């Protein structure tokens, strides 16, 4: 079951984990260019998975009061407000299309477009990446974290003993040990997105994708999603959105590509994502080698300390 790429490199994770006749690998393609920041994904996730309240209050960071991905937040919408990027002169902004929606709110203003504040939103719904090479799963000492037949990474609540190793191992800072609320049955246990494992086994879409009103969150076979994502980036580039880029779609990257990947409109770190994440276990053989050498040196050291001395 272990191949040359078991720690690093392109891989289909479910067969590598020993599944025979596994279904196609499932994942998310989150297209942030159409995210409207409605947080329906956050709510749907909490409702379906019985994720308790987050322990954060008003943060004063744009519309983001859910703070981060953590044990009580399995989808997290990031909000970045900033000056807009002026379209290139030969790429005029498309005129709005009337889709016959009833008008609410303020009456149309007489302010010309040039006089309006130059402003841009970046919004992105972040989630567990379900890495091809998942550090959390690799380092879990109890086998609580496992690779599902869908190629996803899931915690078994009844096995986890809360050692917290996965928390430090995740290169994205996704998984966390639940701290509260008091009385919750999963306090002290590592928690994160399961890609709605229970819904998948019933041929249903994960709750967040089901609830997303703009199809910013797309669920499906990873192979097909990767193609769709490449087409989408090409389309955006044609439209002059040159900042559009994919994140996590490359099976050659530091984590072997992610099952949940993204189309971003700026550098990953702007959204709180690491620019070039690497699974820590890529270096594990080297670490064991160095530790073996150090241990041998220590044994030699104690032998030398006793040699040639008379009590």
Partner 1 sequence: MTQTHDGSPTRRRGSRGGDRIMVPEADFTSYYGRAIVKPAPWEKDIAFYLFTGGVAAGSSLLAAGADLTGRPGLRRVARLGSLGGLGLSVGFLVHDLGRPSRFLNMLRVAKLTSPMSVGTWILSLHGPFAALASAAEVVSMLPAGWQRIGPLRLVAVLGRPAGLVGALTATPVAAYTAVLLADTATPAWHSAHEELPFVFCGSASAASGGLGLLGAPVAQAGPARAFAVGGALVELGAERRMERSMGLSAETLHHGKAGRWMRASTLLTAGGAIGALVGRRSRLLSAVSGAALMAGSLCTRMGVYEAGLASARDPKYTVVPQRERVDRGEPVRHRQ
Rounded-to-integer distance, Cα 261 and Cα 195, Å: 13
Question: Residue 156 or residue 210: which is nearer to partner 1 going by CB?
Answer: 156
Residue 31 sits at φ, ψ, to 5 deg, of: -90, 95
Question: Residue 116 or residue 290: which is nearer to partner 1 going by CB?
Answer: 290
Residue 73 sits at φ, ψ, to 5 deg, of: -150, 100
Question: Residue 159 or residue 242: which is nearer to partner 1 going by CB?
Answer: 159
Nearest approach in angstroms of CB 119 to partner 1 is 10
Find tokens 């841009």 and name the residue: 120
Nearest approach in angstroms of CB 26 to partner 1 is 23
Q: Determine the Cα angle at 42 with ends 195 and 129, to 5°.
A: 35
Segment interacting with partner 1 (CB under 8 A) among 30-38, 77-85, 102-110, 228-236: 77-85
Rounded-to-integer distance, Cα 160 and Cα 145, Å: 8
Q: Does 1 bind partner 1 (CB under 8 A)?
A: no
Among 15, 23, 24, 62, binds partner 1 (CB under 8 A): 62
Site for partner 1 in 14-53 (CB under 8 A): none
Question: Residue 115 or residue 307: which is nearer to partner 1 going by CB?
Answer: 307
Site for partner 1 in 80-99 (CB under 8 A): 80-82
Tokens of 101: 């929606």
* Sequence-ordered list of residues with C-beta below 8 angstroms from that of 40, at least 6 positions apart, any chain: 208, 211, 212, 213
Q: Does 216 bind partner 1 (CB under 8 A)?
A: no
Among 198, 215, 224, 267, binds partner 1 (CB under 8 A): 267
Q: Does 112 bind partner 1 (CB under 8 A)?
A: no
Q: Does 110 bind partner 1 (CB under 8 A)?
A: no
Among 180, 188, 220, 240, binds partner 1 (CB under 8 A): 188
Segment interacting with partner 1 (CB under 8 A) among 98-106, 206-214, 218-226, 288-296: 288-296
Find tokens 């989408």 and name the residue: 232
Question: Residue 136 or residue 200: which is nearer to partner 1 going by CB?
Answer: 136
Question: Residue 36 or residue 293: which is nearer to partner 1 going by CB?
Answer: 293
Among 193, 200, 209, 273, binds partner 1 (CB under 8 A): 273
Rounded-to-integer distance, Cα 222 and Cα 259, Å: 6
Q: Which of 147-168 are b and which e, b meaning 16 or more Cβ less than 10 Å from the residue's Cβ?
A: bbbbbbbbbeeeebeeeebbbe
State the alpha helices, DSSP H only, in the chain. 13-16, 40-49, 135-139, 165-169, 197-200, 207-211, 222-238, 284-306
Nearest approach in angstroms of CB 181 to partner 1 is 15
With CB under 8 A as the rule, give the number of residues binding partner 1. Answer: 91
| Residue 245 contacts residue 253 (beta carbons within 8 Å) | no
Q: Mask: binding to partner 1, 217-246, rule CB under 8 A, as x and -? A: ------------------------------
């Amino acid at each position: 079951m272990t191949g040359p790429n078991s720690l690093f490199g392109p891989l289909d994770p479910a067969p590598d984990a020993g599944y025979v006749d596994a279904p196609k690998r499932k994942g998310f393609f989150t297209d942030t260019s159409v995210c409207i920041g409605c947080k329906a994904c956050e709510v749907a996730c909490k409702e379906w998975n019985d994720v308790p309240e987050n322990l954060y209050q008003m943060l004063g960071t744009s519309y983001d009061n859910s703070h981060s991905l953590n044990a009580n937040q399995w989808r997290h919408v990031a909000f970045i407000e900033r000056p807009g990027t002026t379209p290139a002169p030969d790429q005029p902004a498309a005129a709005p299309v009337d889709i016959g929606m009833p008008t609410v709110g303020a009456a149309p203003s007489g302010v010309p477009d040039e006089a309006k504040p130059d402003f841009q939103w970046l919004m992105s719904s972040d989630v567990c990446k379900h890495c091809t090479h998942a550090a959390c799963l690799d380092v879990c000492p109890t086998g609580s974290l496992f690779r599902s037949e869908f190629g996803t990474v899931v915690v078994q609540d009844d096995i986890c003993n809360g050692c917290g190793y996965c928390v430090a191992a995740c290169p994205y800072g996704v998984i966390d040990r639940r701290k509260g609320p008091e009385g919750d049955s999963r306090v002290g246990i590592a928690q994160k997105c399961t890609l709605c494992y229970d819904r998948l086994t019933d041929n249903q879409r994960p709750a967040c994708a089901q609830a997303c009103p703009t199809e910013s969150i797309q669920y499906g076979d990873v192979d097909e999603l990767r193609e769709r994502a490449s087409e989408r980036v090409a389309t955006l580039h044609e439209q002059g959105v040159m900042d559009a880029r994919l994140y996590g779609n490359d099976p050659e990257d530091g984590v072997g590509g992610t099952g949940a990947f993204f189309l971003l409109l700026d550098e990953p770190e702007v959204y709180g994502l690491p620019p070039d994440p690497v699974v820590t276990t890529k270096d594990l053989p080297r670490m064991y080698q160095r530790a073996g050498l150090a241990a041998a040196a220590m044994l030699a050291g104690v032998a030398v300390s006793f040699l040639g001395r008379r009590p």
